[in-house]
Amino acid sequence: MSENDFNRRDFLKVLGAGGTAVALSGCGYTSIQNGEETVTSYVTPPSWEIPSIANYYNSTCAQCDAGCNIMVRVREGRALKAEGNASSPINRGKMCGLGQAGIQAHYNPDRVQKPLQNGKEISWDDALKLIGERLNGVKGEEIAFITGGMSGHAQALLGNYMDALGSKNRFAYEAVSPAVVRAANKKAYGVSMPRYRIDKAKVVVSFGADFLGAWVSPVYFSQQYAQFRKGTRPEGRGVLVQIEPKMTLTGANADRWIAVRPGTEGILALGLINALGSAGMKVPADIAAAAKDYTPERVGTDTGVPFDQINKLAALLKDRTPSLVLAGGAAEGYAHGSQNAIAIAMLNHVLGNVGKTVEAAAGVPMSQFAPVVGNRSNLAAVNEGLAAGKYKVVFTYAANPVYSAPAAMKFKDNFGKAGFKVALAQYLDETAKAADLVLPLDSAMEEWATMVPEYMAAPEGGYAESYAQLSFRQPVMNRLYPDTRGVGDILLALLKQRRADEYKGFDDFYAYLRSNVLKNKVAYGAGAKDDDDVFWNDTVSKGIVPLKGVAQKLANKASLAGVSLPGPAAADDSYPLRLIPAVSASIRDGRNANEPWLQESPDPLTTVVWDSWVEIHPKTAAKLGIVEGDVVEVTSRSGSIKAQAYLFPGLHPDAVSVPVGYGHEAMGRYAKGVGANVFGMLDPVFDKETGELALNETRVKITKTGERVIIVKEEGPVGGSQAGRKKISVKVSAAKVDLSKEV
């Protein structure tokens, strides 16, 4: 009947076989099994644990420097998921995606498991002996210790260790840090990190502070922002204006996003002060005099923001007080970044916000635990010393300068000049790879630590001027690899080599921490007669110790003396575009790039995953003949990268933007080779006052390589365009918008 031998019966047979194959190769097994898997019983069951029922342990997040308090769900001895600690003033029971991925920092298969000497596994005894030998006869000034931001008891131990070594060369370095804003705040407000009250402000004008995404303490600010946006608030629903050359997550949430010409943020701020004066606001005479040349017309020409827009913004600010003006990454990344930041901070003085929405924060009473924050000028200093061959022994911890220093600094070569390099590392990142000895660190789920957040949040339900806190991190599960140690353990072991008598009573960092806390328990809020065990258990189980902090004083006056703002930068014909390195909410400065969840979660604005991209304004792209997916080469005077082009209207046409944190050459399977490293190609231009690397000062040109790829992204092929539906969302030119009527 059939010409074909392959009849229905055969077809069903094949189908059946295929089905079985699918069933067998599926996830796990799909039918009842007997006697195949082993079920391992406890030898001695822990009394607090019932199989299949989770326990929660309070701890502190280590994914960024905000220091959110978390609680980790632990079942059958395995950490499963982190949640926010509801009694934390910082994150109030919430958490961000970056924090969620912390569990992947712990289970990461690429962790360092044993001490490594030039790549070979050695024992801890040998490793410590080796350090002792190499330090023998080395003078204090020949030793350097490079760290990331640190605080708490480990910071105190490091201080003691540096004393014991007789060295003052401790360098705290963070690849992306608000160092310029800190310095400007110190000048303008007298406090380097005041408390911002976004929740109390009627208008927030943010000059590139991505407080919802990646700036300082985003989870805390997000909750303030939620209050700020509530119409039922006594102040009414707040208005957010974001001024920046590249749209951030905060910019995308703003009522009005203003694309300012990169570098002219300070000019715009002074223009606003001048416009406020013209609108009848009382401006202190010296400030008014300094700002009088910044007429809306001139400022409009310099910044590219239409002058009636400036007047409207000034009218809005005059009309609605208190307001709040923030300066963030986009405003500070210039050679005149400090000037920009001070000009912007001055707006708060003029508007009378200081003391209302800019409040003094409290410091911790124990100054040895206070956060030591990093900046780039420390990197420049240590790099200079390394280049001169000054250091014989260098330690690194929680910083990856080999990756994040601009190539022009030649940090890697200079680092190689040090005779003996010890990296305290959880992964073999670029810096650990370049080290002679790698000491494996515990993950944040395995270590004991205390932490003091740099941005001291205020507890809910009222502003407590003197509130400060010490956060505890405790091991929520046993070590995955028996030979890793906490940074506190390592510092203690190193200290024992120098001051054996002082530290011999402590077997490990836990013993040191416990005894130290109990010795000072009255300072931590315990009664002198309270039982030690009860107090300690209570402290650890809560994870937060509220402290009566040292109140800082706000400066109620500030001046613009010494502030001089350069005009808009001259056009550069060979490198016509300005590179804005973007800090995304998940990858940040790249220290967590090896956590697949972060690579996998789409960038909030472009939805790109698992790769770098170059944001180009559609007009600029049209001029250069670039379409989405073109692989382009971005070249600066100091280097170049190749990445896929993404056309993005949320960008000043003179700028291109590439996210930082990608393009690792090491750091394990999830980070290595993904995207391109934009840090390497930055020009070594520094802020004149603080010495901070001016991230936005690099000029680039773009050339097509001829290759084209399909961008892997969440949004559909039409992307952010309206696909011909322009009538739905009508474009209104910025000049036609009256902010105070619109919102």
Partner 1 sequence: MHFSLRLFTLLAGLSLAAASYAADTAPKLTTPDQLGPEVQQPIEFPHFRHAGDEKDGGMQINCMYCHTYARRSMVAGIPPVQKCIGCHQNLPSVRETPRIKTLFEYWDAKKPIPWKKVHDLPDFVRFNHERHIKRFYFQQDRPYQEVCGYCHGDVKTMTVARRQKPLTMGWCASCHQKDHPVSATSSETGHGPNDCFTCHK
- In the complex with partner 1, the residue whose CB is nearer, 50 or 226, is 50
Residue nearer to partner 1 on the CB measure, 6 or 48: 48
Q: Are 280 and 272 in contact (CB under 8 A)?
A: no
Residue where the block lists tokens 């400030």: 287
CB of 578 to partner 1, least distance (A): 51
Output 31 or 232, the one with its CB closest to partner 1: 31
- Does 45 bind partner 1 (CB under 8 A)? Our answer is yes
Instruction: Compute the least distance from the CB of residue 14 to partner 1, in Å.
Output: 25
Closest CA to 147 of 445, 375, 456: 375
We find the least distance from the C-beta atom of residue 40 to partner 1, in angstroms, to be 5
Interface stretch with partner 1, choices 46-54, 62-70, 312-320, 706-714 (CB under 8 A): 46-54
Instruction: Pick the binder of partner 1 from 51, 562, 673, 717 (CB under 8 A).
Output: 51
Rounded to the nearest whole angstrom, what is the least distance from the CB of residue 31 to partner 1 in the complex? 6
C-beta closer to partner 1: residue 11 or 42: 42
47 is a site residue for partner 1 (CB under 8 A): no
| Of residues 41 and 118, the one with the C-beta less far from partner 1 | 41
Least Cβ distance, residue 74 to partner 1 (angstroms):
15
- Of the candidate residues 1, 43, 561, 710, the single one contacting partner 1 (CB under 8 A): 43
Nearer to partner 1, 23 or 622 (CB): 23
**Tokens 């097509």 sit on residue:** 704
Q: Which of 580, 601, 593, 606 is nearest to 249 (CA)?
A: 606
Query: How far apart are alpha carbons 191 and 184 in whole angstroms?
Result: 9
Among 4, 52, 136, 574, binds partner 1 (CB under 8 A): 52
Q: Which one, 4 or 44, has the nearer CB to partner 1?
A: 44
667 φ, ψ to 5°?
80, 20
Nearest to 607 by CA among 589, 626, 585, 622: 585
**Strand pairing class (203-207; 239-243):** parallel
Burial label, 588 (beta-carbon count in 10 A; 0-12, 13-18, 19+): buried
| One-letter-per-residue 3-state SS of 283-313 | CCHHHHHHHCCCCHHHHHHHHCCCHHHHHHH
Choose the binding region for partner 1 from 45-53, 343-351, 389-397, 522-530 (rule: CB under 8 A). 45-53
Residue with tokens 């001055």: 346
Nearer to partner 1, 36 or 501 (CB): 36
The binder of partner 1 chosen from 1, 4, 24, 39 (CB under 8 A): 39
Between residues 45 and 389, which has the closer beta carbon with respect to partner 1?
A: 45
Q: With 0-12 CB in 10 A as exposed, 13-18 as middle and 19+ as buried, what is 18?
A: exposed
Q: Which is nearer to partner 1, 30 or 537 (CB)?
A: 30
> Cβ closer to partner 1: 54 or 631?
54
* 483 CB-side CA count, 13 A: 16
Of 3 and 37, nearer to partner 1 (C-beta) is 37
Nearer to partner 1, 42 or 481 (CB): 42
Draw the binding track, 19-38, toward partner 1 (x: CB under 8 A; -: no contact).
--------xxxxxxxxxxxx
CB of 42 to partner 1, least distance (A): 4
Select from 318, 310, 402, 321 the least CA-distant residue to 354: 321
Residue with Cβ nearer partner 1 (42 or 463): 42
Task: Using the structure block, give the residue that is written with the tokens 């991505």.
Answer: 210
By CB under 8 A, the residues from 141 to 180 that bind partner 1 are none
- Nearest Cα neighbor of 545 from 388, 364, 670 is 364
Which of 1, 24, 53, 718 contacts partner 1 by CB under 8 A? Answer: 53
- CA 198 to mean position of chain CA atoms: 20
DSSP letters, 234-286, are TT-S-EEEEE-SB--HHHHHSSEEE-PPTT-HHHHHHHHHHHHHHTT----HH
Total chain residues near partner 1 (CB under 8 A)? 23
CA–CA dist 686, 336 (Å, integer) = 9
563: number of Cβ within 10 Å: 21
Secondary structure of residue 397 in the 3-state scheme: strand
- Would you count residue 232 as binding partner 1 (CB under 8 A)? no
Strand runs labelled E in 566-639: 577-582, 613-616, 630-636
> What binding mask, one character per residue, do residues 63-102 give for partner 1 by CB under 8 A, x or -?
----------------------------------------
CB of 47 to partner 1, least distance (A): 11
Helix (H), strand (E) at residue 503: helix 500-503
Only one of the segments 13-21, 51-59, 335-343, 397-405 lies at the binding site for partner 1 (rule: CB under 8 A); that segment is 51-59
Tell me the CA distances in angstroms from 606 to 252, 493, 584, 703, one per residue in order.
Answer: 11, 47, 11, 21
Figure out which of the listed residues 12, 17, 50, 735 binds partner 1, where binding follows CB under 8 A: 50
- Minimum distance from CB of 212 to partner 1 (Å)? 33
Q: Which of 2, 25, 44, 47 binds partner 1 (CB under 8 A)?
A: 44
Nearest approach, Cβ of residue 80 and partner 1 (Å): 15
The answer to the question of residue 136 lying near partner 1 (CB under 8 A) is no
CB of 25 to partner 1, least distance (A): 14
Q: Minimum distance between the CB of residue 48 and partner 1, rounded to whole angstroms?
A: 13
Closer of 51 and 166 to partner 1 (Cβ): 51
- Provide the residue type at 687 as one letter: D
389: left (phi over 0), alpha (psi -120 to 50) or beta: left
- The piece of 44-52, 167-175, 198-206, 460-468 that touches partner 1 (CB under 8 A) is 44-52
Residue type, 292: K
**Residue list 639-668, contact with partner 1 (CB under 8 A):** none
Apex 428 CA angle, 423 and 431, nearest 5:
50
CB of 46 to partner 1, least distance (A): 10
Fill in the amino acid letter for 743.
V
- CA separation for the pair 494, 485 (Å, rounded): 13
Among 14, 18, 42, 460, binds partner 1 (CB under 8 A): 42
| 34 vs 574, beta carbon nearer partner 1 | 34
Where does this chain touch partner 1 (CB under 8 A) — which range of 42-50, 226-234, 469-477, 535-543?
42-50
Nearest to 376 by CA among 341, 347, 411: 411
When asked if residue 482 is in the footprint of partner 1 (CB under 8 A), the reply is: no
Nearer to partner 1, 27 or 500 (CB): 27
> Which residue, 40 or 118, is less far from partner 1 as judged by CB?
40
41 sits near partner 1 (criterion: CB under 8 A): yes
Q: Are 97 and 592 in contact (CB under 8 A)?
A: no
CA–CA dist 700, 704 (Å, integer): 13
User: Measured from the CB of residue 141, what is the shortest distance to partner 1 in angstroms?
Assistant: 51
Tell whether residue 40 is a contact of partner 1 (CB under 8 A). yes
Cα–Cα distance for residue pair 44/77, rounded to 1 Å: 13
Q: Which amino acid is at 688?
A: K
- Rounded least distance, CB 77 to partner 1, Å: 13
Strand order in the sheet with 323-327: 256-258, 239-243, 203-207, 323-327
Q: Which of 69, 720, 719 is nearest to 444 (CA)?
A: 69
Segment contacting partner 1 by CB under 8 A, of 50-58, 614-622, 659-667, 695-703: 50-58
368 neighbors 155 (Cβ within 8 angstroms): yes
**Which residues are at the interface with partner 1 (CB under 8 A)?**
27-45, 50-53
